Amino acid sequence: MSSLVLLRREMVAFGRRMRERNLIVAAEGNLSVRLGGHFFLVTPSGVPKDRLRVQDMVEVDHRGRTPRGRPTSEWPMHGLIYDLRSDVGAVCHAHPPWATAVAVAGRELDGSLLTETAGELPRVPLAVRARPGTDELAASIAVAIRDHDAILLGSHGVVALGKDLDQAFDRMETVERLAQVTLLSELAAGRSDLDPDELIRLCRGGR
């Protein structure tokens, strides 16, 4: 079995997982994996992620050219990420409710709030609001994406990056948990930030 077929199957599996974990509804969200050269494999436009088939995935280059199929309208964002980050092998974009609520409120997330995120995602910045599926959306993340592995999209959702789909998906779920804990802690009794010395120790030592 070819590596391309395996990648397509993996994307089908992660698309279903996105729906099962309540990160998206209907035909929301998209996934991609880097191929050779300027090409990447991306989910199609308008297909619910729990109904994806192996043959639905679309090969596209960073200019939107494709031999067949109709890629997600947000392919420019994926293409820009691959152009700017040679270390990134996969991208996950979703609309998880807690993190999207933070984005709608015009806030970013402080990863130092939790020991689990202090080293991996110390800050999740907020990109300015932009219309989905446009070059404007891609441009809105151009600065932040160089130094961050997850970004909140203004009034939209989250984009998470990784060396593969496993890591990108894990980071998406981590951002959602961080957003949930952030908002619930503020409702409960206010947040309690980590001591700076403790934060440094955690970042150096990992988990």
* Tens of pLDDT, residues 150-206: 999 999 999 999 999 999 999 999 999 999 999 999 988 766 666 777 767 767 765
Catalytic residue among 10, 20, 74, 198: 74
Q: What is the CATH number of domain 3-205?
A: 3.40.225.10
DSSP letter, residue 163: S
Asked whether the CA dihedral 31, 58, 14, 47 is positive or negative, the reply is positive
**74 counts as catalytic:** yes
| pLDDT of amino acid 78 | 96
pLDDT along the chain (207 residues), means of 10: 90 98 97 95 97 97 89 95 97 98 97 91 93 81 94 96 98 98 88 69 64
Domain segments of the chain: what residues? 3-205
| pLDDT of amino acid 206 | 54
